[in-house]
Structures are given as C-alpha cells and as structure tokens.
Structure 1
Amino acid sequence: MRATEPPRTGPVLVVIGGLPATGKSTVGRAVARRFGASYLGIDTIRQSLYAFAERDADTDALRHAVTLGLGYSVAYALAEDLLSQGQCVFAECVNSRKATRDAWAAVARRTAAQFHEVELICSDPAEHAHRATTRTVDIPGLPLPTWQDITERDYAPWDRPHLTLDTAGKPPDHTITELSNALALTLTP
C-alpha cells in the first residue's frame, strides 16, 4: 500500500527522534513529502541561529541560548503555529531528553493535534559508525557530530509508548515505506 495524504479531521504532529546518523532527516523529509506535511528540522533552525549570531557583536550569548535549547523553542512555536492552522507537521530532532519529548506532547495538546512519536535507531554499531563518519552535510555550515560525540551523547530512554524503527541493514526507502504505512493506518479515520 502506497501512502498518500490521508484524510484528516484536524492537525497532526509527528515527531521523529533518535541519535544522529540513524536516518531521521532522510526518512522524515520523505515521509512528510508523501503526506503533504510541513517539515521542521532542528538542525536547520539551530544552524540559522548560529549563522545569525555570527553577524552580531554578542555572539556568545546567542550561541549559549542555542546550546540551551533555543532551536527547540523556535521549533515548538513554528509547529504550534502550523498545527493551529490545521496542518500536518513533521518535526525531526534528536529529542534526547524527557523535557523535549514532553514539550512536543504539550504542543500537540494545546493544538488538539493527533500526536505520534517515532524513534529511529540503528542497532548495528558498525553500520551506525560508518554512517556517522561518511555522511555529508546538507545544511550549509552545519558541523556534524563525530562518532565519539554520538556515542557519548546523553540520551534518555523513552518512558512512554512510541513507534521505534530500526534502520540497520535497510535502505532508506524501506524505512520510509515502513513509517508511511504505520502512519497511514493511524491517520486514516
């Protein structure tokens, strides 16, 4: 079954999280496109804020704010705006902490949106390391984390039900279809 934009009775928020180099951007963009949804990438927002900071005299304060979560705050506000207009929004971010996961859930509650949390993992450490060390950046100026950065990242386990998809040993198209099909089943009235 090929997923097309499902009939919806209201806004839908899909948050795709997971460690870097698990396929979040590739999968998130493709599935959002299939559903005719808006796509918000935290890396794009954060890098734009960093680039803006470089033009200002007080770059340290803004860079510090971005490090503390300003990019997520901007994404929450944008998502809430789009959801309030009845849109379907895909937000892609590492989403490594309970606080960020709860904040996304609060956005969905405030806008009465259907809410779907997705975590992408790569269960094969060798494949994950290879992806992390060979991928190219698609956001100008964005520094990619090293494999060491990824393995040492503070990533809290999920404390509630969510959809987990393992991207190890699969081409991106497989995960794109897997997620599209899972969402089509839940988004169709």
Structure 2
Amino acid sequence: MTVTLVCLSGLPGTGKSTIARHLAARVGALWLRVDAVEQAMRDSHMTVVGDLADGGYAALQAVAAAALEQGFDVVADCVNPVAETRVGWQAVSARTGARHLDVALTCADRDKHRARVEGRAPEVPGLGLPDWAAVMARDWSPFDGADLHIDTGAVALEDAVARIAERMREN
C-alpha cells in the first residue's frame, strides 16, 4: 500500500491547522505542524533563535520522511509561501516513494479571513500569532500548480476534509 504526503499550504488564518487536525483524524494520518516544531526550537535550552529560516521545515521534513518510510500517511501543516518550500515537500515524497498531494488553501472572503486571524488564540503554548498586517505583508507566491485548491471562505470544513480525503484515495 502506498502512503501519501498531503501538503497543506496557505497564509495564516486560511484553516490549515483546523483542516489538518480533522483530516488526520478521518484518515488515520500523522499530523505534522510546523508551528509546534518551530516553537519547540525557540523554547529549546540549546538554542538562541531569532529567525529560524528553514530550520523548522527541515526538521519536519525529516520526521515526515521517517513516518512515510514506516507506512504512515502524513499531513504537513505549513504556510509554504514560496516555490522553494513546496519543492522541499515534493522531494520528501519522491525520496520515500510516497504519493504527493499539494493542497492550496485560500480564503477569498477578506473579512472572514481577517476575523479568523484576529479572533484566534494560539494552540501551541508560547506561540506568538501574526496580526492581520503581518499576514498581509507576508511573502506569498500563488500556488497555481497545486493538485487541489480550496477556498475555505466558501467551503465548509467537512467538505474541505472530504475533498482532500477523496483525492488521497484517487492518487
């Protein structure tokens, strides 16, 4: 049986973590959240960290590769703002022989997106969340090549999860 790496990409507040949590529970996959890894790196007594650059992504990709090699489906929950970060996940799938599913999440309803960003509380202890201005200033390259595009402002959570789960079965 071939395992799948589902890579969720999108700006903060588009619903990546919510969808990842529900998808992982539905299909029995391992949910890997870059926010948790990067916060653990910041909290580590071994490091003084300002900018993590790609350290969190590199660590999470190593864990993803090990999980895929052990036969687990993986849901990667990261912003993946530019082509370089997306290619890194694709390389993990290629290296492990896993199927790869890129899912680009957006929220075209600007008011809904802003309300999500401004109304959420951190789920990862110690994690500082970006405000609306920081989200809008974030470097983001459109992800035209994604396998699946979901506008979370227009698609209900369960429908989004069902669409991704269906694509996992198709691949």
Note whether the superposition's TM-score is higher than 0.5: yes
CA gap 1:128/1:185 in 2 versus in 1, 3 angstroms: closer
Number of corresponding residues: 171
* CA deviation profile, 1:1-49 (whole Å, cap 9, x unmatched): xxxxxxxx11110011100011110111111110000010000000000
Query: What is the match of residue 169 of structure 2?
Result: 187
Could you tell me whether the CA contact under 8 Å between 2:22 and 2:161 is conserved in 1? no
Give the alignment partner of residue 155 of structure 1, picking from 117, 137, 140: 140
Query: What is the match of residue 119 of structure 2?
Result: 134
* Counterpart residue identity of residue 178, structure 1: A
Query: What is the match of residue 89 of structure 1?
Result: 74
Q: How many angstroms does 1:86 deviate by?
A: 1.4
Structure 1 residues 5-44: aligned runs within 5 Å: 9-44=1-36
Q: How many angstroms does 1:167 deviate by?
A: 1.1
Distance 2:167 2:129 in 1: 34
Query: What is the match of residue 3 of structure 1?
Result: none
RMSD of equivalent CA atoms = 1.7
Distance 1:119 1:160 in 2: 9
Quote the sequence identity (%).
Answer: 34
Larger radius of gyration: 1
What is the SS of the residue equivalent to 1:105?
helix
Could you tell me whether the CA contact under 8 Å between 1:21 and 1:132 is conserved in 2? yes
The unaligned stretches of length 5 or more in structure 2 are none
Distance 2:69 2:158 in 1: 27
Query: What is the match of residue 107 of structure 2?
Result: 122
CA gap 1:182/1:159 in 2 versus in 1, 3 angstroms: closer
Query: What is the match of residue 71 of structure 1?
Result: 56
* Counterpart residue identity of residue 124, structure 1: D
Distance 1:156 1:183 in 2: 25
Query: What is the match of residue 45 of structure 1?
Result: 37
Distance 1:186 1:17 in 2: 16
* CA deviation profile, 1:33-67 (whole Å, cap 9, x unmatched): 10000010000000000011xx34x61xx433x1x
* Counterpart residue identity of residue 131, structure 1: R
What is the SS of the residue equivalent to 1:119?
strand
What is the SS of the residue equivalent to 2:50?
helix
CA gap 1:159/1:188 in 2 versus in 1, 3 angstroms: closer
* CA deviation profile, 1:106-128 (whole Å, cap 9, x unmatched): 00000110100111111011111
CA gap 1:70/1:186 in 2 versus in 1, 3 angstroms: closer
Distance 2:141 2:56 in 1: 19
Query: What is the match of residue 178 of structure 1?
Result: 160
Could you tell me whether the CA contact under 8 Å between 1:95 and 1:101 is conserved in 2? yes
